[in-house]
């Protein structure tokens, strides 16, 4: 089955749009006439991405700012309502937002910093999945894809980030087991070990 058949006219929500990896994902999807809702923490980031796109594709892109650290569940439900009114369903959700936080030993970690990493990397993604579950089920072939981390292996001094990645992987597995018999949503993960995205470059500039 061709990529065009699989992707043409699909409605895709891309979370954490402002990254090198996601820009390539966006351009690749737009070739197949998909409609993409780009979500990131600031309208400035989203506008920058939008300006870089080919003029031919701009009618297929919708921008929506959401900040996991400050926004409430109601903000996610407003986005849900927007997609429902605009398209009537959601085919796929790509969750590629990650916050690494500080590199330090666990016993030096501040609880406020811990809360920040977990809220962005785990709580926000859980609420997103919860908020869009019914909208995804309106699609004929829905799917959810999680990024479970950009590190090649779990390293010391990135404990909280690593914990959030383990938690996301666990969330994905539990969701799959709970819904495998009655939900048509397919759920998977990817781990872009060697991709030179912004998170990877910040950790390994060489």
Bridge partners for 124 per DSSP: none
Cα-Cα-Cα-Cα torsion 92, 79, 46, 116, nearest 10 degrees, comes to -90
Closest C-alpha to 101, from 23, 172, 164, 167: 164
Please say whether the beta carbons of 159 and 171 come within 8 A: no
Cα-Cα-Cα-Cα torsion 66, 72, 74, 78, nearest 10 degrees, comes to 0
Q: What is the mean pLDDT of residues 181-198?
A: 68
27-64 pLDDT per residue, tens: 778 888 888 898 888 788 888 878 877 666 778 888 88
- pLDDT at position 203 over 60: no
Q: By CB neighbour count within 10 A (0-12 exposed, 13-18 middle, 19+ buried), where does 112 fall? A: exposed
The predicted structure's pLDDT at residue 206: 44
Strands of 71-172, DSSP E: 92-95, 143-147
- pLDDT at position 18 over 70: no
78-135 pLDDT per residue, tens: 889 999 999 999 999 988 777 777 888 888 888 888 888 888 888 888 888 888 888 9
Between 55 and 75, name the one with better pLDDT: 75
Please say whether the beta carbons of 119 and 71 come within 8 A: no
Sign of torsion, CA 84 86 88 91? negative
How many angstroms separate the CA atoms of 205 and 9, rounded?
A: 38
How many angstroms separate the CA atoms of 181 and 11, rounded?
A: 24
- pLDDT at position 12 over 50: yes
132-174 pLDDT per residue, tens: 888 999 998 898 888 776 545 666 777 888 888 888 888 888 8
Report pTM.
Answer: 0.80
Between 124 and 199, name the one with better pLDDT: 124
The predicted structure's pLDDT at residue 158: 78
- pLDDT at position 67 over 50: yes
């Amino acid at each position: 089955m061709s990529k065009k058949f699989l992707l043409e006219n699909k409605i895709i929500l891309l979370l954490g749009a402002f990254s090198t990896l996601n820009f390539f994902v966006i351009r690749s999807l737009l070739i197949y006439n998909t409609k993409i809702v780009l979500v990131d923490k600031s309208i400035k980031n989203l506008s920058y991405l939008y300006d870089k796109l080919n003029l031919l594709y701009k009618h297929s892109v919708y921008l929506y700012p959401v900040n996991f650290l400050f926004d409430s569940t109601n903000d996610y439900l407003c986005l849900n309502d927007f997609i429902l009114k605009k398209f009537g369903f959601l085919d796929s959700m790509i969750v590629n937002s990650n916050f690494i936080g500080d590199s330090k030993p666990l016993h030096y970690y501040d609880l406020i910093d811990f809360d920040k990493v977990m809220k962005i990397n785990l709580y926000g993604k859980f609420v997103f999945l919860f908020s869009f579950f019914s909208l995804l089920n309106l699609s004929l072939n829905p799917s959810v894809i999680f990024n479970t981390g950009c590190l090649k292996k779990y390293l010391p001094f990135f404990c909280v980030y690593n914990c959030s990645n383990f938690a996301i992987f666990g969330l994905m597995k539990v969701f799959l087991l709970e819904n495998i018999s009655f939900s048509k949503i397919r759920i998977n993960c990817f781990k872009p070990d060697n991709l030179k995205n912004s998170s990877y470059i910040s950790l390994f500039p060489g």
